[in-house]
A and B are shown apart, each in its own frame.
Chain A
Amino acid sequence: MTELSWTRKDLLGIADLSAAEIQLLLDTAESFREVSLRPIKKVPTLRGRTVVNLFFEPSTRTRSSFEIAEKRLSADSLNFSSATSGLVKGESLVDTALNLQAMSPDLIVIRHGHPGVPHMLAKRVAAGVINAGDGAHEHPTQALLDAFTIRQHKGGFEGLKVSIVGDIEHSRVVRSNVLLLHKLGAEVTVAGPRTMMPVGVEALGARAVYSLREALEGADVVMMLRVQLERQSQAAFPSAREYFELFGLTQARLKAAKRDVILMHPGPMNRGIEIASDVADGRYSVILEQVANGVAVRMAVLYLLSGVHREAE
């Protein structure tokens, strides 16, 4: 393994990380993947450590992935979500942070609808803070698990053509993925309707195109995003039917990509809107591998942020 050692207290976004740090996270995840293949899927690494999962937004996928990762590391976890009333209505975020701090957890995993909330929390608590998605800003563990999956299939990132298709403007998955893949040398293309492309998209480090065909052509990796038409402003797109017609992924359209293309989706999928069922379940799809890899990647993140690797030195 690499010589570099992890020194950050928090994982707030890919924007802060160097390529070497990203590789370290991916290498560490590799060693944790093996744990999930054992009959007894548990190691004592984080025994006696407390992890708080703080979800201000509903999320089954990311939250359960973190919970499983914590259990497999033998950490004590504590779940607060807006749904289970653990988070008091009207309490300010600062008060929540102070209350958490008083319980002195080791790590806090936070999902929030507003960009920058994990950053705000990180400044006020001694615990390491892991951003599990902040509004449309970043979702670093998703980008890491996507990269991990890509690396498994493609070996590396240099010169790799990755296309991300969908509602680019409102996606935290896009921001983290573009940043990460760009740092590791991939050529990233983002595609979607012009009304769902943020002004200033070039700043992210991706090429923007506005046709699905152009995005798919010669792609090594295709990542489809969930499109929530009901969340769009009325001016952004007329109907799901028209969306599928223009940007929905079908078997026939996917032929424009490389023969060994892999197809990814961060989930949850809207079958028949951004992706046809036969493609989602077809032979190019690595969607379920992404889910499995999510656990290994989150174990790696929890492990490195907990600092136990440093105590062992």
Chain B
Amino acid sequence: MERLLIQGGRLVDPGQGVDDRLDILIEDGRVERIGKGLKAGRGGETVEAEGLIVAPGLIDMHVHLREPGQEYKETIESGTRAAAAGGFTAVACMPNTQPPNDSRPVTEAILKEANRHGYARVYPIGAISKGQKGERLAEVGEMVRAGVVAISDDGWPVMSPELMRSALLYAQHFGVPVIQHAEDLGLGADGVMHEGEWSARLGLPGLPGAAEDLMVARDILLLEQTGGRYHVAHLSTARSLELVREGKSRDLGLTCEVTPHHLLLTDREVADSDFSTQTKMKPPLRSESDRLALIAGLQDGTVDAIASDHAPHHADEKDVEFSAAPFGIVGLETTLALGLDRLVRADLVSLYRLVELLSTGPARALGIEGGRLAPGDVADVTLFDTEPRRMVSPKRFQSRSRNTPFLGWRLRGRPVATFLAGRRVELS
């Protein structure tokens, strides 16, 4: 029997409504007891967590690990190392690999590689359509049996309402949510930044917020008819958030995530950074009023999760003209510190709520284990310290890519350790 005691820390666990100084005793990978003054007992190991926050393992429900096919950007190994370094015990990886994860063998290969390294749990998200082409449903049942926890064509939206309706219906056989990259490509698809004041100034083609709103509205209308579960990936506009808020009030199976960059940056950043391609992502950095609406969505509970949309790109790919650069930035190694410093320390959300958004919320949205450390639960744990100051320095990233707009930001708070089923993750 393996026994581990995490002692003296402040347990913040929204999964069971706990925020208190409590010890956790773990046995054979599962939580045995939580309480005060617990003992590891003979042969047990003790981790001193005095002054630290103990949270159910953080889960990033939207990352791109790039393997198979684009290992020069990221691999499952480097991506899960980045996850562990950033305080995450689990990631859900999008299917837009090469080949895309649209069938059982690809899912199995991803899981095999993830298990071989064991830095973080990997929950593959399967494609909605074969080849992510938006035409015919992929073999969702096969993929779910192999380990897929959700389906999405992320990278691309599901444009066809017919296909989206089928996906919402069919996914119910397997109890998985449908995740949509909500963007109507029929409106402003050649855009490279948010359409508004700053695109007007910079002469860059705009991506209208309405393209997202149209898709969210359409999908909610479909969801009303189909039932099932629908999740909006990287929601970025005030209007979309309102649509989700309204849908939730009617108890639709509706959830959404937002990214740290949409919470902390706006379209103005493109100009202030002099066209830096690190400010280019999809959805684009939106207006200040959108940003404030997203923060209100964190506060009133409309937002279920913060997800990084970790999208590694090689430096050579990003070091080109703004219009020609690929969309996306990395996030696994900055999300927690950004949340601690710019959301919690800035008094926008409580620490409890931040943990909910980074752990309990995504676990619920995906319907996976985790997000709670009650007796019997899997002992995936994140320890972090809210005090130390550190500068974002991509040179120290475990990720193979360094494309971040947060370079040089001074942030207070950092991850200290992660545990998977009661075992400390070692990055050496």
Q: Smallest distance from the beta carbon of A203 to chain B beta carbons, Å? A: 4
Closest to A117 in B: B321
1/0 contact trace for A180-213 toward B, CB 8 Å? 0000000000000000001111111000000000
Distance between Cα atoms of A115 and B202 in the complex (Å): 7
The stretch of A80-88, A132-140, A243-251 in contact with B is: A132-140
- For residue B199, CB closer than 8 A to chain A, the reply is yes
Which of B203-211, B336-344, B403-411 is found at the contact surface with chain A?
A: B203-211
* Given A114-B321, A114-B324, A135-B323, also A119-B199 (CB < 8 A): no
- A154 within 8 Å of B by Cβ? no
A200 and B198 in contact (CB under 8 A), knowing A116-B322, A135-B323, A175-B203? yes
B2 at the interface (CB under 8 A from A): no
Mask, A119-133, CB within 8 Å of B = 1, is 110010000000000
A115 lies within 8 A of B323 (CB): yes
Chain B CB within 8 A of A93 CB: yes
**Structural contact, B274 and A119, CB atoms closer than 8 A:** yes
Within 8 A of A (CB), among B306-326: 316, 319-324
**Are the C-beta atoms of A135 and B200 separated by less than 8 Å?**
no
Q: Let me know if A137 and B195 touch, CB within 8 A.
A: no
The contact string, 1 if C-beta is below 8 Å from chain A, for chain B 182-204, is 00000000000001111111111
Whether, in the assembled complex, B352 has its beta carbon less than 8 Å from a beta carbon of chain A, the answer is: no
When A115-B323, A116-B275 are in contact, do A135 and B199 touch as well, CB less than 8 Å?
no
Number of interchain pairs (Cβ within 8 Å): 70
* List of B residues within 8 angstroms of A112 by Cβ: 321
Query: Which interface class (under 10, 10 to 19, 20 to 34, 35 or more) fits B?
Result: 20 to 34
Cα separation A115 to B203 with both chains bound (whole Å): 7
Q: How far is the CB of A179 from chain B (nearest CB, A)?
A: 9
**Nearest-CB residue, chain A, relative to B201:** A203
Interchain CB contact under 8 A, A94 and B195: no
Name the residue of chain B whose CB is nearest to the CB of A94. B319
Cα A260 to Cα B200 in complex, Å, equals 32
Interface 0/1 of A142-166, CB less than 8 Å to B = 0000000000000000000000000
Report the minimum CB–CB distance from A191 to chain B (whole Å): 15
Interface size on A, residues (CB 8 A): 26
* B199–A200 CB distance below 8 A: yes
Q: Quick one: which of B195, B199, B275, B316 contacts A120, CB cutoff 8 A? A: B275
Q: How far is the CA of A15 from the CA of B274 in the complex (A)?
A: 12
A137 adjacent to B198 (CB under 8 Å): no
With contacts A115-B275, A199-B196 taken as known, whether A92 is within 8 angstroms of B203 at the C-beta atoms is no
Docked Cα-Cα span, A198 to B201, in Å, equals: 9
A172 CB–B CB distance under 8 Å: yes
- Contacts known (A116-B274, A116-B321); A203 close to B203, Cβ less than 8 A: no
What is the bound-complex CA distance between A120 and B198, given in angstroms?
18
* Also in contact, A116 and B200, with CB within 8 A (given A94-B319, A199-B195): no
* Cα A116 to Cα B195 with chains together (Å): 17
Query: Using a CB-CB cutoff of 8 Å, which residues 253-296 of chain B contact chain A?
Result: 274-275
State which of A15, A114, A200 has its C-beta within 8 Å of the C-beta of B323: A114
Assembly CA distance A92 to B277 (angstroms):
15
Whether B203 pairs with A138 at a CB distance below 8 angstroms is yes
Q: Given A116-B274, A116-B321, are A200 and B202 neighbors across the interface (CB < 8 Å)? A: no
Determine the residue in chain B with the shortest Cβ distance to A138.
B203
Considering only CB atoms, which chain B residue lies closest to A92 in the complex? B320
* Residue ID in chain B nearest A119 by CB atoms: B274
B212 to chain A, nearest CB (A): 15
Residues of A contacting B274 in the complex (Cβ-Cβ under 8 angstroms): 116, 119, 123
Question: Chain A residues near B321 (CB, 8 Å)?
Answer: 93, 112, 114, 116-117, 120
Rounded to whole Å, the gap between the CB of A210 and the closest CB of chain B is 16
What chain A residues lie within 8 Å of B320 (beta carbons)? 92-94
| Contact between chains at B195 and A200 (CB < 8 Å) | yes
Decide if A114 touches B322 in the complex (CB within 8 Å): yes
Chain A residues lying within 8 Å of B201, measured Cβ to Cβ, are 15, 175, 200, 203-204
Q: How far is the CA of A144 from the CA of B284 in the complex (A)?
A: 33
Across the interface, which residues of B come within 8 angstroms of A199, CB to CB? 195-196, 199-200, 206, 208
Which residues of B are found within 8 Å of A117, using beta-carbon distances? Answer: 321
Contacts of B206 in A (CB 8 A): 198-199
Q: Which residue in chain A gives the minimum CB-CB distance to B319?
A: A94
- Are the CB atoms of A137 and B200 closer together than 8 Å? no
| Contact present for A136 and B203 (CB under 8 Å) | yes
Complex CA gap A114/B201 in Å reads 14
In the complex, A138→B274 CA distance in Å?
13
CB-CB under 8 A from B195, the residues of chain A are 199-200
Chain A residues contacting B323 (CB-CB under 8 Å) are 114-116, 135
Contacts of B197 in A (CB 8 A): 200, 202-203
**B204 and A200 contact, CB distance less than 8 A:** no
**A200 touching B203 by the CB < 8 A rule?**
no
B271 to chain A, nearest CB (A): 8
Cα distance A202–B196 when bound, in Å? 10
Chain B residues within 8 Å of A134, by CB: 203
Give the distance to chain A from B277, nearest Cβ to Cβ, in Å: 9
Q: Which residues of B contact A203 (CB under 8 A)?
A: 197-198, 200-201
- Binary A-proximity of B203-238 (CB < 8 A = 1, otherwise 0): 110101000000000000000000000000000000
Q: Which residues of A contact B200 (CB under 8 A)?
A: 198-201, 203-204
Instruction: Give the distance to chain B from A16, nearest Cβ to Cβ, in Å.
Output: 10
Among A115, A172, A200, contact of B196 (Cβ-Cβ < 8 Å): A200
Q: Which of B199, B208, B316 counts the most A-chain CB atoms under 10 A from its CB?
A: B199
Query: In the complex the two chains form, what is the Cα distance from A169 to B263 in whole Å?
Result: 29
In the complex, are the beta carbons of B199 and A198 less than 8 A apart? yes
Q: Are A172 and B203 in contact (CB under 8 A)?
A: yes
A115 to B199, CA, bound (A): 10
When C-beta atoms are compared, the residue in chain A nearest to B317 turns out to be A92
| Residue numbers in B under 8 Å from A116 (CB-CB) | 202, 204, 274-275, 321-323
Closest approach, in angstroms, between the C-beta of A228 and any C-beta of chain B?
Answer: 15
Given A172-B203, A175-B203: A115 touches B198 (CB 8 Å cut-off): no
Known: A199-B195, A200-B195, A200-B197. A119 touches B275 (CB 8 A): yes
Chain B residue at minimum C-beta to C-beta distance from A171: B203
Using Cβ atoms and an 8 Å threshold, which residues of chain A touch B208?
199
Are B316 and A92 in contact, CB atoms less than 8 angstroms apart?
yes
Measured between beta carbons, the chain A residues less than 8 angstroms from B319 are 92, 94
List residues of B whose CB falls within 8 A of some A CB. Answer: 195-204, 206, 208, 274-275, 316, 319-324
Closest 4 CB pairs of A and B: A116-B275, A136-B203, A137-B203, A200-B200
Beyond the given pairs A93-B320, A116-B202, 11 more chain A to chain B contacts, judged by CB atoms under 8 angstroms and listed by A's residue number, are A94-B320, A116-B321, A120-B322, A134-B203, A135-B323, A199-B200, A200-B199, A200-B201, A201-B200, A203-B198, A204-B200
A–B complex contacts, Cβ < 8 Å, 6 sampled: A92-B316, A115-B204, A137-B203, A199-B208, A200-B197, A200-B200
